[in-house]
Structures are given as C-alpha cells and as structure tokens.
Structure 1
Amino acid sequence: MTDWRSDLELITDAARQAGAVAMQHFRQSPEVWWKNEGRSPVSAADYAANAVLETVLRSARPEYGWLSEETEDTSCRLERETLFVIDPIDGTRAFIAGLDTWCVSVAVVHLGKPVAGVLVAPSLDEEFSASEAGEATRNGVPIRVSRHIAGDHLRLAVAEDLLNRLDPLFVRDVERIKHVPSLAYRLAMIADGRIDGTLVKRNAHDWDLAAADLILERAGGSLVDLAGERLVYNRAKVSHDELCAATNADLPRLLRHLGLGLQG
C-alpha cells in the first residue's frame, strides 16, 4: 500500500504558495474574464495561482498526470494511474466579490480515487487536509462530522427552489444554510461539523470535488450520486450529475428525500 504522506506534504506546500499569490490580488480588483459562454468568471488571480501550482507540482512529479480548471485539458491524463486535480481558486465569484469563502483545492488522484487532498483558504487562515489512510484535519487538528441530538434540525446547504419541492414534513426539520459559493469549502464545512449536508447541482467538476471528497470521507461523511454511489475521478468526462454530500448517519434519509424531489 502506497504511503501518500509525502504527496500530501508536497501539495500542501504548493497550495500555500498559490494561496499567497492569490492573496496579492484579493480585494485589488483583479482583471476578470468570462468563459463557458459567459457563465463562469476567471480572474488574473486564478491564472497566477495555477501557474504556481503547475510549476511546483509538475516539476516535483513529472510522471503524474494533470487536470486543472485553468489548464486546457488533454487526453494524456487518462493514460496516467496518478494525477494532480487542481482548482487554483474554488469560489472565484466569492473571490471577485471580496468575500473570504474561497480556497485553493489540490488533490492527488490514483486509479480514480483521491488519495491526498488539501484546501487552503488563506483569507480565513484555514487549511483542511487528509490522506487515504490518515485523519482529516483543520489547521492540524483532527475533525469529525456532526453528531445529532434527537430533535436537532438538519443543517443543509440546499437551493431554496429544490427545498420547496420536498416533503413538507421533512422540510420542517431542515435549517437551510445561506449559499456558500465555494463547493469545496462547503464540503469542508460538513467535514468539520458546521453543517450536516448539501446538494451539489449538476455540472460540478472533478477539480471542484476531489480534495474535499477525501477530506469529507476521512471525517466521517460521504459524497455520492443520487444512487448512493461514490464518484470515480479521471474519466474522459470530468463533470457530474446531481450529487449529495452528508454525514454517513444522515445520508440515507437525505438521499431518499432529494431523489424524490428531483424526480417530482
């Protein structure tokens, strides 16, 4: 069994460097462009952070494949058993708006599964990390998902229009959480017990998910599709359909209600 701790140390150092570069642009009105037919913003900070990550990581592990939101994708990565999966700034809209909830997301994926992952949120002075056989941590301290007391509300990050389609008896016990633009950070919030679950809308990508997926798993939660299946990374198609993330205790009930809501 491979020990991925050295890779975790490598990606943590690289993510910190990228976060420091991004902070030089934060709240400094960086230049912004629009991609995907004007639906998705990208800033000069995204490109600068991506350049740091690519320089550090590809020189350290030239045999690894590469998948980043801000690097043109090629089929070469499909030939590699191991690759880096990168989002130089997850939560670009928050970053551009001057909000703190954005992070650098870096994962090592091996045979379709994340085996090392780190989220660096420099504006919040937070770091989340995990390796395949280790604990999930926040700023070096082990974290676990929440444990409910009877009668507690389920704290969910769910779009209001979807919540309104669910069983009113279920909704009565839900505390809806204000939208968090960074999907990776939202998953980390489940991992450290601040919320209990979330629905991930269609078209999230490997780079949004891989690092946070592993952190959540090692903290006692899961990210799955609506059939309850874990994700496979480094496929030809890197986007995903609707997903659900929650504590392992809450996942079955949440999947049942979300599945019915989406089908209704």
Structure 2
Amino acid sequence: MTDAELAAHLAGIAGRILIEVRDSGMFDGKALGKAGDQTANEFLIHALRHQRPEDGLLSEESKDTEERLEKSRVWIIDPVDGTREFGEMRSDWAVHVALAVNGEAAIGAVALPGLAGGVVLRTDEIRALPSRDGPPRLVVSRTRPASEAIAVAERLGGELIPMGSAGAKAMAVVRGEAEVYLHSGGQFEWDSCAPVAVARAHGLHCSRIDGSPLIYNQKDTYMPDLLICRKEWTKAVFDALNS
C-alpha cells in the first residue's frame, strides 16, 4: 500500500468509526467530542505505528516528543478536526491524515464523514476544479472570521461563507464551493498539513498570508496563518491584503 493509499484508507476508516461513535447515542455535546477524539486517535496511532514503524508521528491528541524532529518522514494527524462541530452533530468536521517529508506537506487525505455517504479527498486522486465566474467566495470561521478575510472580501466584492473545521473550509475550495480560505487566528500543524497536501495536489495556491512557505515538523507546532486559494485569485488576494 502506498503512502497516499494508506492515508486515504486510514482517514476513511477513522471517519466511519466516528460516525459509529456519534450514532451510538452514548454521548452528546463535549462528551461526544472527547469520545470521538480519543477513539479515532487510538485507531490512527496504532495503525500508523504498525504500518510505518520507522516514521515519526505527531497527533493533536497525543503527547508530543522531540523524537519526530530527527525524522525526515513524519505523519501528522488530527483525529477530529472540528471537535466542536462533531459534538454538535454538524457535518463540517474532518479527519486529517498527512505525511510531511522534509518539512513539506507531501501526501495526505481529508475525510469529511459528515457529508452524505462520506467523502475522502486525497493527494493521489485529483478532481477537476469546477469553473466559476464572478466575485470570490471566502470560507471563514463560524465564530471568529479573520479580519484580513473580511477586508479581502470587501475589497474584492466577495462573499463570506461561515464554516466549521479547517479541513472542511480547505476542502470547500477543493470541491468548488469557495475560491479562498484565509485564516489568521492561529492554528497548529495538524490543522493544516493534510488539507494543504490535498489542496496543493489539486493545483491550489498554499502559503502563509505573507506568501512565505508552510513548513511542517517544527519543534514549535504553532502556525500563525494560512492561505489556500485558487491560483487565478492569488494575485488579487495578495494585492488586497497589501493595500
């Protein structure tokens, strides 16, 4: 099984496990979110350690160690991206499984289990980006939309679309439901590694909002900001940010 196949397989299985946890009726609210995080994390950690024992590993739900810093290949996972949305029985949450190689988001899969039938977007199966005319649609946080995104939307005559998890927002661009995902409120490597790998494989622009590259498997896993957008909008977004 290739790395890309493994990422997609594990993201899909974790998604199905999470649906079972959600539909069990045993939990709700924050308790449901915690149960989902722990259950999916245990599966993903054990599977990756069994399938790729020589690689490093970074998960939101496991204690980090510096051992991964010595590895050129590191799996970066978020068992439930959008725990709040998962706990609220919404559909805009995701499972992230990514492989960073020499600091680059090289391979990944993002599962969207809450969508009808479950959806897995991956780096080794590329979907054509649908064409669209008109002003850009920008996906933003449901509760804390980035001020920069608001400003860009105003300058470009764009529309803001509130949405839950980072993975759901990034995949909205891949799926043609939006043109821009601009975030400046701070994230961690597990929030964006898989989405960036998938978005880049689909030909989207991915960077920090100052245009600098996104680098993974750092000692400090905090990442201040992120821009994922269709390439035809890249210049206009940067011009709006800098105006």
Question: With structure 1 as the length reference, what TM-score do the two structures score?
Answer: 0.82
Residue identity matched to 1:6: T
Quick one: distance in 2 between partners of 1:129 and 1:211?
9
Greater helix fraction, Structure 1 or Structure 2: 2
**CA positional deviation for 1:194:** 1.2
| Cα-to-partner distance string for 1:149-185 (whole Å, 9 max, x where unaligned) | 3xx12111242754554585x25x21111x2111012
Quick one: distance in 2 between partners of 1:57 and 1:153?
42
Do residues 143 (structure 1) and 128 (structure 2) align? yes
Question: Could you say if the C-alpha distance between residues 157 and 78 of structure 1 is closer, same or farther in structure 2, counting changes exceeding 3 Å?
Answer: same
**CA positional deviation for 1:96:** 0.7
Do residues 126 (structure 1) and 119 (structure 2) align? yes
Do residues 175 (structure 1) and 159 (structure 2) align? yes
Quick one: distance in 1 between partners of 2:153 and 2:111?
37
Residue identity matched to 2:158: V
Do residues 15 (structure 1) and 11 (structure 2) align? yes
Aligned partners of 2:182 and 2:209 also within 8 Å: no
Partner of 1:212: 195
Quick one: distance in 2 between partners of 1:225 and 1:20?
32
Q: Which runs of no fewer than 5 residues in structure 2 stay unpaired? A: none
Aligned partners of 2:14 and 2:44 also within 8 Å: yes
Residue identity matched to 1:126: V
Partner of 1:37: none
Quick one: distance in 1 between partners of 2:85 and 2:72?
33
Do residues 156 (structure 1) and 141 (structure 2) align? no
Question: Could you say if the C-alpha distance between residues 195 and 166 of structure 1 is closer, same or farther in structure 2, counting changes exceeding 3 Å?
Answer: closer
After TM superposition, what 4+ stretches of structure 1 lie above 2 angstroms from structure 2?
27-33, 146-149, 158-168
Quick one: distance in 2 between partners of 1:11 and 1:17?
10
Aligned partners of 1:244 and 1:255 also within 8 Å: no
SS of residue in 1 equivalent to 2:12: helix
Quick one: distance in 2 between partners of 1:12 and 1:163?
30
| Cα-to-partner distance string for 1:173-201 (whole Å, 9 max, x where unaligned) | 21111x21110121111112110002112
Quick one: distance in 1 between partners of 2:146 and 2:217?
32
| Cα-to-partner distance string for 1:97-149 (whole Å, 9 max, x where unaligned) | 11011111100111011221111122211110004xxx53xxxxx232x5443
User: What RMSD, in angstroms, separates the aligned Cα atoms of the two structures?
Assistant: 2.2
Quick one: distance in 2 between partners of 1:160 and 1:7?
34
Q: Which runs of no fewer than 5 residues in structure 1 stay unpaired? A: 34-40, 137-141
Quick one: distance in 1 between partners of 2:150 and 2:12?
40
SS of residue in 2 equivalent to 1:26: helix
Tell me the matched-pair count: 235
Aligned partners of 1:202 and 1:243 also within 8 Å: no
Partner of 1:75: 66
Q: Percent identity?
A: 26
Quick one: distance in 1 between partners of 2:52 and 2:206?
28
Partner of 1:32: 30
- Compare 198-207 and 86-95 and name the one that shifted more: 198-207
**CA positional deviation for 1:244:** 1.7
SS of residue in 1 equivalent to 2:199: helix
Question: With structure 2 as the length reference, what TM-score do the two structures score?
Answer: 0.88
Residue identity matched to 1:248: K
SS of residue in 1 equivalent to 2:163: coil
Quick one: distance in 2 between partners of 1:103 and 1:86?
11
Aligned partners of 1:202 and 1:240 also within 8 Å: no
Do residues 102 (structure 1) and 93 (structure 2) align? yes
